[in-house]
Copies of this chain bind each other. A is one copy, B any other.
Amino acid sequence: MTITVVGSVAFDAVKTPFGERARMLGGAATYFALAASFFDRVQVVGRVGADFGEEELQVLAMRGTDVDDVERVADGKSFFWAGEYGWDLNSRETLDTQLGVFADFQPHLSPASRACDVLFLANIQPELQLGVLEQCGETKFVAMDSMNFWIDSARDALVEVIRRVDGVILNDAELRQLTARPSLIAAAREVLAMGPSVVVAKQGEYGAALLTEDQFFALPAYPLETVVDPTGAGDTFAGAFAGCIARHIDRPVTEPVLRQAMAYGTAMASFCVEEFGTERVERLGAGEVDARVEELQRITQFEHVPVPLEAS
């Protein structure tokens, strides 16, 4: 099975209370691909500038990821984002955004990328996401991300994308903004009613929730003493989530598979935030991931021996 991701491949400058990096490999498609590549063969569709060197390309191509659809523009610069996180890492301020060659990104998928089993539309302009959907006819599971900017500025196109995908992966503020519903459950149900069979509500340090037509599942974040840099956590989650689904795509995507995908997404994201950018995931071992999935199971289980309660 193969997974295609369409999205940004970029450089980031990040400052957190634990340090900073003036220039590190980033971008949604990068984080997604690194995580998904643990599970299956990944193809990245993106656009970078001449500043994107062999070293970065090698990281992107780890574990056999196909980078043939990463277009390199000789006279341009890669997407660059600079941001600073607050004291408890729950807020961040964008200091600089330079779209560079990403401003004219028009995803063009090779036959190999089109023939994927699982497709992830990372956070890009909804019109471009629609264009990608037109190119991929036979995909078995399509998931997507977006952001507040597109909910505000390109709502109709975004809703059209949502109608046509299987899974929506947004954070809870985005789900609330999209539906104008204060209740996360009600917001997710409204998104499900648009067409998707799966909604994942990312909740940052609190974990994530999964909603399908008749089920609800929630998983806390893996408990860490120190989070160094939250950048890329959501896309890393999505990469492992989609990767786990790809590995089971020969069967219908059942609730147990979705829940396991949530656990792998959560475990993988917990490694991402332990160090800056892709540093930790680049040298992550498969056994480490499984150990955290097991630990997630331990920290969420409880016995229920009913306590006889008093009637009123």
Residues of A within 8 A of B (CB): 17, 37-39, 62-64, 87-89, 176, 182-186, 189, 203, 205-207, 209, 215-220, 223-227, 244, 247, 256, 259-260, 262-264, 282-286, 289-290, 293-294, 297, 299-312
Contacts of A312 on B, CB cut-off 8 Å?
62-63, 282-285
- Complex Cα distance, B182 from A291, in Å, reads 26
Find A260's partner among B182, B284, B304 (CB 8 Å cutoff): B304
- Within the oligomer, what is the number of copies of this chain? 2
> In the complex the two chains form, is A310's CB within 8 Å of B37's CB?
yes
Query: What distance in Å separates the Cβ of A293 from its nearest Cβ neighbour in chain B?
Result: 6
**Residue contacts A-B, CB under 8 angstroms, 7 given:** A37-B310, A87-B182, A216-B223, A216-B299, A218-B299, A219-B300, A286-B310
- Complex Cα distance, B310 from A244, in Å, reads 12
Query: What distance in Å separates the Cβ of A249 from its nearest Cβ neighbour in chain B?
Result: 12
> In the complex the two chains form, is A256's CB within 8 Å of B39's CB?
no
Find A247's partner among B182, B282, B307 (CB 8 Å cutoff): B307
> In the complex the two chains form, is B310's CB within 8 Å of A304's CB?
no
- Complex Cα distance, B309 from A286, in Å, reads 6
> In the complex the two chains form, is A226's CB within 8 Å of B186's CB?
yes
Query: What distance in Å separates the Cβ of A30 from its nearest Cβ neighbour in chain B?
Result: 15
Contacts of A244 on B, CB cut-off 8 Å?
307
> In the complex the two chains form, is B300's CB within 8 Å of A304's CB?
no
Contacts of A301 on B, CB cut-off 8 Å?
259, 300-301
Contacts of A306 on B, CB cut-off 8 Å?
290, 293
- Complex Cα distance, B78 from A187, in Å, reads 40
Find A88's partner among B182, B305, B308 (CB 8 Å cutoff): B182
> In the complex the two chains form, is A260's CB within 8 Å of B302's CB?
yes
Find A311's partner among B218, B285, B305 (CB 8 Å cutoff): B285
The winner among A256, A260, A264, A300 for most chain B CB atoms within 10 A is A300
Contacts of A87 on B, CB cut-off 8 Å?
182
Find A186's partner among B37, B203, B225, B264 (CB 8 Å cutoff): B225
Contacts of A89 on B, CB cut-off 8 Å?
182
Contacts of A186 on B, CB cut-off 8 Å?
225-226
